[in-house]
Structure 1
Amino acid sequence: MPHIDYYLATISPNCYLAGTRPTEIAAKHGATISYKPLDIMALFARTGGVPPGQRHPSRQEYRLIEIGRCAKELGMPVNVKPAHFPTNPAPSSYALIAAQKAGGGDLGALVAGITRACWAEEKDVADDAVIKGCLEAAGFDPSLADSGLLAGAMVYEQNLEDAVSAGVFGVPFFITDDGARFWGQDRLTQLDRHLGGEL
C-alpha cells in the first residue's frame, strides 16, 4: 500500500487551496497519509525562505494575486488578507496531531476545516472554540483540543526536523514512500499521476 507524508501548516493559504484533494487522491490509489503539521515560519528560517511579510513588496503583491486567482479557479471562497493571519499555528497543529493519534474522524476534512476557518471564514485558528468546532465538524471529539499538548508539541517539533531532513522547504509538501517529492497544491495532479504509475 503506497504512503504519503503530507507536510502542512494550518495557517497556509496553499494548504487551504489543496482542500480535500490530497485525501481524495490517496483514496483513489489506496494510499495512506501521515499528516505532519509544522511551524512554517521556522521552516522558512531553516531552509532559506522568507516569511511573507518580509518579502519584497512585488513578491507580496503577486502572492495575493496568485492566492485569489487559484481560489477562483478552484471555486473556493477566499479573503487574501484574512483578519487572523498570521496567527499562532501551534494550538490547531496540536489538535490535528491529537486527532491523528485518536482516530475516528476525517483528518482530511479537519485540515480543510482549519485552513478554511482562517482563509475563508475570518476565524482565528489559534482560538480554542474555533479549533473545537473544526474537530467536531470533522467527526472528532472536540476535547482533543485540550489533551496531549506536551506530546503534540514534541511531535510538532519533530515534524519540523523530519521536514528539513527530507528536503521540505514549503507547504503543502508531499513525499511518497518511494521518495518522490511534490511541492504545492498545484502539483497535486502530478502526485496523482505518480501514484498511478504515469509520472
Structure 2
Amino acid sequence: MAHIDYYFATLSPFTYLAGTRLEQIAARHGATITYKPTDVIALFGRTGGTPPAQRHPSRQEYRAQDLLRQAKYLKMPFNLKPAHWPTNMAPSSYAIIAAQNAGGGDLGVLTHAFTRACWAEEKDIADEAVVRACLSEAGFDPDLANSGLLEGAETYAANLEEAAARGVFGAPFYITDDDQRFWGQDRLDHLDAHLQERAG
C-alpha cells in the first residue's frame, strides 16, 4: 500500500487551493496519508526561501496574479488579502495533530476547513472558536482545541526539522514512500499519475 507524507501550512493559500484532491487521489489508489502541519515561514529560512512579504515586487505581483488565476480555474472562492493573514498557525496546527492522534474524523476536511476559513471566509484560524468549529465540521471533538498542546508543540517542531531534512521547501509538499517529491497543489495530477504507474 502506498503512503504519502503531507507537509502543509494552515496559512498557505496554495494548501487551500489543493482542496481535498489529495484525499480523493489517495482513496483512488488505496494510499494512506500522514498529515504534517509545518511552520512554512521558518522552513523558508532553513531552505533558502524568502517569505512572501520580503520577495521582490515582481515575484509578489506574479504570485498575486497566479493565485487569482488558479482560484478561478478551480472555481474556488478566494480573497487575495484576507482580514486575518498572517496570523498564528500554531493553534490550528496543534488541533490537526491532536485530531490525527485521536482519530474519528476526516483530516482532509479539517485541513481544508482551516485554510478555507482564512482564504475564503475572513476568519482568524488562531481564534479558539474558529478552531473548535473546524474540528466539529470535520467530525472531531471540539475539545481537541484545548488538549495535547505540549505534544502538539513538540510534533509541530519535529515536523519542521523532518521537513527540512527530507527536502521539503514549500507548501503543500507531498512525499511518497518511494521518496518521490511533489511540490505544489498544481502537481497533484503528477502524484496521481505516479501512484497509478506504481500500481501497474
**Interval of TM-score (by shorter of Structure 1 and Structure 2):** over 0.9
Runs of 4+ in 1 over 3 A off after TM superposition: none
2:192 paired with 1:192: yes
User: 1:52 aligns to what?
Assistant: 52
| 1:79-98 mapped onto 2 (5 Å cutoff) | 79-98=79-98
SS of aligned partner of 2:197: coil
Q: TM-score, normalised by structure 1?
A: 0.99
- String of CA shifts for 1:73-104, please: whole Å, max 9, x gaps: 00000001111111110010000000000000
After TM superposition, the structure 1 = structure 2 runs for residues 32-181 of structure 1, keeping only pairs within 5 Å, are: 32-181=32-181
Q: Distance in 2 between matches of 1:168 and 1:19?
A: 20
CA distance in 1, matches of 2:195, 2:80: 32
CA distance in 1, matches of 2:56, 2:82: 20
| Aligned counterpart, 1:20 | 20
CA deviation profile, 1:80-129 (whole Å, cap 9, x unmatched): 11111111100100000000000000000001100000000000101100
Q: Which runs of 5+ in 1 are unaligned?
A: none
Task: Please list the CA deviations of residues 4-52 of structure 1 after superposition, one character each: whole Å capped at 9, or x if unmatched.
Answer: 0000000000000000001110000000000000111100000010000
| Residue-by-residue CA offset, 1:37-74 (whole Å, 9 max, x unaligned) | 01111000000100001111111111111111000000
Which amino acid is 2:181 matched to? R
User: Residue 175 of structure 2 aligns to a residue in which SS?
Assistant: strand
Structure 1 CA distance for aligned equivalents of residues 161 and 3 of structure 2:
19
| Superposed CA offset, 1:115-157 (max 9, x none) | 0000000001011000100000000000000000000000000
CA distance in 1, matches of 2:65, 2:117: 20
Query: What are the superposed Cα offsets for residues 151-180 of structure 1, whole Å, 9 maximum, x if unpaired?
Result: 000000000011011000001000000110
Percent identity of equivalent pairs: 68
Q: Which amino acid aligns with 1:51?
A: P
Provide TM-score, normalisation by structure 2: 0.98
Q: Residues of 1 paired with 2:11 and 2:100: CA distance? A: 18
Aligned length: 199
CA RMSD of aligned residues (A): 1.0
CA distance in 2 between partners of 1:132 and 1:61 (Å): 35
Which amino acid letter does the alignment assign opposite residue 151 of structure 2? Answer: A
Supply the AA of the counterpart residue of 2:148: G
